[in-house]
Structure 1
Amino acid sequence: MKNNRILKFQIKASDKKILRKFLIQHKFSSSQLHNLKNKGGQIYVNHKQRHFDFKMQTGDTLLIVLNNEEPSDIIRPMAGELDVIFEDEYLLVINKPPGIASLPAKARSSKTVANIVKYYLQEKHENASIHLVTRLDRDTSGLMVFAKNSFTHSLLDQILHSNDFQKFYLAIVYGKVDPTEGEIDLPIGIDPKAFYLRTIDYKLGKPSRTLYQTVENYENNSMLRLKLLTGRTHQIRVHLSAIGHPIIGDEMYSLKKDPRINRQALHCYQLQILHPVTKRLLKLTAPIPQDMVLLKSALKG
């Protein structure tokens, strides 16, 4: 595995030539610049160490060595299985099973995806600081993205809700959805009755948009393909409930238990990411988990 702390650039005619301005042009944040300067980062131009005020030329080779990161003690490494869908020196994308949280809650010491990822990275002798880019609810399955350093995390945050970072979900819902495709544009806020719930709130809610498209119809149910245009807590679950089609198994928002599946039938099945460092377009998929396959079979009769 290559060193994920090293970034290499070839200076183009269109690039800013003063080093600091180049770094800002290439999305280095003020904290990243501070860390480069004060926490052990190094900058080389044509193999000679340089400072922020150095003026580069077209064709120069710039090498950035990011500072070491000290992993936080808040997340303890714990052994566990990971279904790795994609990995390079900058990113780790895994397929999360249902029934496990993304991050530890303050009052819990149970194993989460973040604990397992930290153990996995430590075993590979890589930077074990946890940089969670996308999270999923405990009972939602599918693709989750971790960055392997703070710079990559910062770059991903900047594109998270753009066309360069697209997230697609599959959900099986109650009822046949009409119209069969469209956009749900309803503001989401905290439910005043319970802080852990979300609700449609036209006064205090944040703008929230979800695209949906019917991919299969059953006798009294539909499977939808959904694309998030914003990233609110429980967004898909709240939006689908608001239009009268809650997700099967989602007791929290459908207000009923379903014997056919023991969690909400929601799966993050596809990501399309323009890799922020290599600029390669990643098209990643995670197969539908067994419990949703069985639910589909039951609905088909």
Structure 2
Amino acid sequence: MNKNNRFLKFTIDSNDKKTVRKFLVQHKFSSSQLHNLKNKGGLIFVNHKQRHFDFKLKDGDNLLVVLNVEEPSDLIVPMPGKIDVIYEDSYLLVVNKPAGIASLPAKAKDSQTMANLVKAYLIAKKENSSIHLVTRLDRNTSGLMVFAKTSYSHSLLDQILHTEDFQKFYLAMVYGQVEPSEGLIDLPIGIDPRAFYMRNIDHQQGKDSKTLYETVKRYPCASLLKLKLLTGRTHQIRVHLTAIGHPIIGDDMYSKKIDERMPRQALHCYRLNIVHPVTKRLLKLKAPLPQDMVMLDSVLRGEKNG
């Protein structure tokens, strides 16, 4: 069988629907995935015999689904380069994104992005190279980013993205000492009317946005915060921390000041706890603090108050 294919194995139990089609719907296959499975070369085997969607299942049956090969889009051009792989299996790929590189290409831009690098990486491994971005990071935010390897695993990850089964933790170095030292920032975020690429707090039309924060280190004039995203709005952490009066060091877009100590926002996605949607194993993934934030930490520790 083609190496690009992905296999899913199930054992039928008493709670499962008893035709192949109903079973697959129960296991979160979308109608387009069922269509592709049926019409684009997917295969279904029950107890090692090829079967169709209307086949009747019994308790204890072994079901093997061979997903169809996906045709990668030409919109993302493969670009070889180094990527820091933190975790990989047949379903997902987690990479540690450096600061200064975008997650996805903007329209009409051919500069290197994480999507271009990941596509080249998958092609080199002779794997399905369709790009399925599950989480993205701003260009100047570093840390863990998740790609799904098939449309099926993408939809499974999407369904848990903003639940406790998919927890995202960040570290940020901010101006000032935050009081109270931990809490929940619950402020709606909307598009800034002055600039479409910026966000602001908008109590009229903004979307519900929640960020948990906890101070993990106090410097004389700054704080290191651990943050947990409960929602996933564009620029959420940057806007929320600015709104409580503690913008991220180096975030000139929101702090409105250039800081020689840090050329980008000191924000890093350092940890993900994901309940794997297929194996149900808890993945605890970490990306170490990048060198520029390690340097900033030592600068902040050495500063005198005032």
Q: 1-side partners of 2:183 and 2:58: how far apart?
A: 50
Instruction: Give the letter for the 2:139 counterpart.
Output: R
The alignment status of 1:177 with 2:178, answered yes or no, reads yes
Q: Does the Cα contact within 8 Å between 2:210 and 2:230 map onto a contact in 1?
A: yes
The alignment status of 1:210 with 2:183, answered yes or no, reads no
Partner of 2:294: 293
Partner of 2:225: 224
Partner of 1:12: 13
Partner of 1:146: 147
Alignment of 1:96-245 (within 5 A): 96-245=97-246
Query: How far did residue 54 of structure 1 move?
Result: 1.5
1:108-149: CA deviation from partner (whole Å, max 9, x where unpaired): 110011101000000010001101110000000000001111
Q: Does the Cα contact within 8 Å between 1:69 and 1:127 map onto a contact in 2?
A: yes
Partner of 1:48: 49
Partner of 2:85: 84
- TM-aligned CA distance change 1:240 to 1:4, over 3 Å: farther
Q: Does the Cα contact within 8 Å between 1:275 and 1:281 map onto a contact in 2?
A: yes
Q: CA RMSD in A?
A: 1.0
What SS is found at the alignment partner of 2:204? coil
Query: How far did residue 107 of structure 1 move?
Result: 2.9
Partner of 1:277: 278
1:30-64: CA deviation from partner (whole Å, max 9, x where unpaired): 11111112222111111112122211011100000
Q: 1-side partners of 2:277 and 2:36: how far apart?
A: 20
TM-score, normalised relative to structure 1: 0.98
Q: Does the Cα contact within 8 Å between 1:3 and 1:89 map onto a contact in 2?
A: no
Query: How far did residue 79 of structure 1 move?
Result: 0.8
Q: 2-side partners of 1:4 and 1:98: how far apart?
A: 33
Residues matched between the structures, number: 300
Q: 1-side partners of 2:89 and 2:158: how far apart?
A: 18
Q: 2-side partners of 1:21 and 1:200: how far apart?
A: 44
Query: How far did residue 4 of structure 1 move?
Result: 5.4
Q: Does the Cα contact within 8 Å between 2:5 and 2:69 map onto a contact in 1?
A: no
Q: 1-side partners of 2:35 and 2:241: how far apart?
A: 44
1:45-86: CA deviation from partner (whole Å, max 9, x where unpaired): 111121222110111000001111011110000011000000
Moved over 6 A (4+): none
Q: Aligned residues: percent identity?
A: 74
Instruction: Give the letter for the 1:282 counterpart.
Output: L
Q: Does the Cα contact within 8 Å between 2:177 and 2:222 map onto a contact in 1?
A: yes
Query: How far did residue 3 of structure 1 move?
Result: 5.8
Q: Does the Cα contact within 8 Å between 1:44 and 1:64 map onto a contact in 2?
A: yes
Query: How far did residue 166 of structure 1 move?
Result: 0.5
What SS is found at the alignment partner of 1:270? strand
Instruction: Give the letter for the 1:151 counterpart.
Output: Y
Of 3-12 and 178-187, the range deviating more from structure 2: 3-12
Instruction: Give the letter for the 1:152 counterpart.
Output: S
TM-score, normalised relative to structure 2: 0.96
